[in-house]
Structure 1
Amino acid sequence: MAFIEFRLQWDGRINRQDVAAKFDISLNQATHDLVRYKRLAPTNIRYDLSERAYLRSHDFAPRYDITGVAGYLDQLEAASKGTSRDGAFWIGRWPAFEVLPAPTGEIGLDVLRAVVASILANEPIDVLQQTSDELAPTWCTLLPHALVHDGERWCVRAFSCCAGGYETTPLARIGSFRAATAAIGPAQADADWNTMLSLEIGPNPALPAAAREVVARDYGMEDGKSILQVRHALVGSLLRRLGITEIPTEHAKLVLLNPEALGLLGEHA
């Protein structure tokens, strides 16, 4: 049902061949599915004899979240990463589009699999990781508990025996792994991970009024601000990604409206 609605929403039309080809079903079954959707949402779909297809009605109102803006743009972004457009996506007619590439380090399949297994089993693992303190990679025992995407790269959140506390480590820095050579007792709770903060961001008041309005629309603000829920451990990554500094420059787009939520910015940046 969601696929039918997706095609109506974004292509404006669908026929039984589309449904049959997508799900490898008979034309009769595809017709049955289209009739079912028409019963479910009669004001969304109409059959056009001349087109020999079902068309989006003028009173179309989507019922499934996946057929909305985020669902469509997510498919464009996924397609930009080289995934074949055959079979994996619901888009029928592709618009011209471009997504800017971002440099990312390679994450080893075996490394990710081992880290995921360690998280699921709540067991430590030794990793050979590159750090900014040593020229050569060094071994360290980690007790990972979560995967993290910081807006730019995938990381692992773990208790680190080397650091004597919790760290967020980019997975691309891990070159190899082995069974843990050191036992780790029950680690203290990851307080920075468990603490959620509400950060209020708004347009830089130093910007002209028109520019502030543009920023507000770009970032989906209401009443001049957006409220973001973020883990304390990830505050620094979020602020860097948004270009928010303790003392904003006159050209900065965004500012933090409630710095008291996290104390001194410098401690978390």
Structure 2
Amino acid sequence: MSSLTTIPWDTLARYRLIEILALWEGRVAAGQIGEAFGIGRQQAQKVLRAYRQLAPHNLSYDRQRHGYLPSAAFVPLFTQGRVDEYLRLLNIHDTLDSPFAGLSMGAANTESLPMPSRAITPAVVRELVRASREKRRLEVNYASFSSPAGDGRIIVPHTLVFAAGRWHVRAFCEKNREYRDFVLSRFRGVPEDVGPMLGRHDAENDERWQTRVAVRLIPDRRLPQAERELLAMDYGMPDGELELHCRGPLARYALRELGVNPNHAEANPRAQQIEIANRDSLASWILWS
């Protein structure tokens, strides 16, 4: 076996995609590889064969599903096996940023702060992804502050969302009869398919999800003019105001990312830095109960 360090980065990108799709979607096929990298089916099949030579125990071919499935002994060779890799791929759709980590770019020293990875299992993600694509109902056991040990319910998932440092699934909850956000790391066990969606509970009929809102941010008005101007430069406010547009249910998460608590202001304006200019009109979207 050749050293993994000698594999060209574009080939590594293909191997990484194979692992990500197999592990988190439960299936990878030549057509997916060909579409992602603009290569023919025969070339994509060669890529899969080459990968299997390097990791012979990771994949097995399933004739009924016309693709390769992850084996029980699957061990990632080119990825870290973290859900972030798959969910990041969903966001960028047509490109993988991870292959560029292998490029020698001669950049200046940089450092980033690694964040802890949430405990999210592949089996949970596979079921959520499949159900959202096929509009299926899932029976789940979900833990929350009100039910730390878990509580059974049926959901109809429609969108995976990364916000405020963690992954959620937006879904219709049959127990509460409304659309809610469910944190992926709080599912207990593997969701069970209980049939097709009943009624119209997909993303198109999630009225709050389909509503776009504008969040207007300004430097804290308690600060001196010079400090407000400094913050306006920091946050890219050419006219002293920054307007963010997002789906209504994501507005509170956007504020959390910016360190703004919509429920109360910091006593120290330098700690607060920025505030919501249109807080009253956004109250139903941003206030936490």
Indicate if the aligned counterparts of 2:137 and 2:197 stay in contact, CA closer than 8 A.
yes
Q: Secondary structure at the match of 1:180?
A: strand
Q: Could you report, residue by residue, the CA deviation over 1:215-243 in whole angstroms, capped at 9, with x for unpaired residues? A: 22222112001110111112222223321
**Structure 1 match to 2:215:** 199
Q: Secondary structure at the match of 1:102?
A: coil
**Structure 1 match to 2:143:** 130
Indicate if the aligned counterparts of 1:202 and 1:226 stay in contact, CA closer than 8 A.
yes
Give the Cα separation in 2 of the matches to 1:246 and 1:211.
24
Give the Cα separation in 2 of the matches to 1:202 and 1:234.
19
Q: Secondary structure at the match of 1:124?
A: strand
Max radius of gyration: which structure?
A: 1
Indicate if the aligned counterparts of 2:219 and 2:231 stay in contact, CA closer than 8 A.
yes
1:225 aligns with 2:245: no
Give the Cα separation in 2 of the matches to 1:245 and 1:159.
25
Shift of 1:116: 0.6
**Structure 1 match to 2:253:** 237
Tell me: CA distance 1:151–1:90, structure 2 relative to 1, closer, same or farther (3 Å). Answer: farther
AA at the equivalent of 1:117: R
- Picking from 248, 266, 273, the partner of 1:253 is 273
For structure 2, the residue ranges without an aligned partner over 5 or more in a row are 1-7, 12-84, 86-96
AA at the equivalent of 1:205: R
Q: Could you report, residue by residue, the CA deviation over 1:30-61 in whole angstroms, capped at 9, with x for unpaired residues? A: xxxxxxxxxxxxxxxxxxxxxxxxxxxxxxxx
Give the Cα separation in 2 of the matches to 1:123 and 1:182.
6
AA at the equivalent of 1:99: S
RMSD over aligned Cα atoms: 2.9
Give the Cα separation in 2 of the matches to 1:266 and 1:144.
22
Give the Cα separation in 1 of the matches to 2:98 and 2:193.
42
**Structure 2 match to 1:262:** 282
Q: Secondary structure at the match of 1:119?
A: helix
Tell me: CA distance 1:86–1:233, structure 2 relative to 1, closer, same or farther (3 Å). Answer: closer
**Structure 2 match to 1:119:** 132
1:177 aligns with 2:190: yes
Tell me: CA distance 1:87–1:184, structure 2 relative to 1, closer, same or farther (3 Å). Answer: closer
Give the Cα separation in 1 of the matches to 2:121 and 2:10.
33
Indicate if the aligned counterparts of 1:159 and 1:187 stay in contact, CA closer than 8 A.
no
Give the Cα separation in 1 of the matches to 2:137 and 2:98.
39
**Structure 1 match to 2:36:** none
- Picking from 99, 106, 116, the partner of 2:112 is 99
Q: Secondary structure at the match of 1:110?
A: helix
Tell me: CA distance 1:244–1:223, structure 2 relative to 1, closer, same or farther (3 Å). Answer: farther
Task: Report the count of equivalent residues.
Answer: 192
Shift of 1:126: 1.6
Tell me: CA distance 1:127–1:95, structure 2 relative to 1, closer, same or farther (3 Å). Answer: farther
Indicate if the aligned counterparts of 2:262 and 2:287 stay in contact, CA closer than 8 A.
no
- Picking from 195, 214, 227, the partner of 1:211 is 227
Give the Cα separation in 2 of the matches to 1:191 and 1:85.
35
Indicate if the aligned counterparts of 1:199 and 1:261 stay in contact, CA closer than 8 A.
no
AA at the equivalent of 2:226: A
Tell me: CA distance 1:128–1:245, structure 2 relative to 1, closer, same or farther (3 Å). Answer: same
Tell me: CA distance 1:135–1:258, structure 2 relative to 1, closer, same or farther (3 Å). Answer: closer
Shift of 1:166: 0.8
Task: Please list, as runs of the form range in 1=range in 2, the aligned pairs for 1:130-169 lying within 5 A after superposition.
Answer: 130-169=143-182
Give the Cα separation in 2 of the matches to 1:265 and 1:180.
31
Give the Cα separation in 1 of the matches to 2:234 and 2:213.
23
Indicate if the aligned counterparts of 2:136 and 2:194 stay in contact, CA closer than 8 A.
no
* Bigger mean CA offset, 99-108 vs 109-118: 99-108
Q: Could you report, residue by residue, the CA deviation over 1:6-48 in whole angstroms, capped at 9, with x for unpaired residues? A: xxxxxxxxxxxxxxx6558xxxxxxxxxxxxxxxxxxxxxxxx
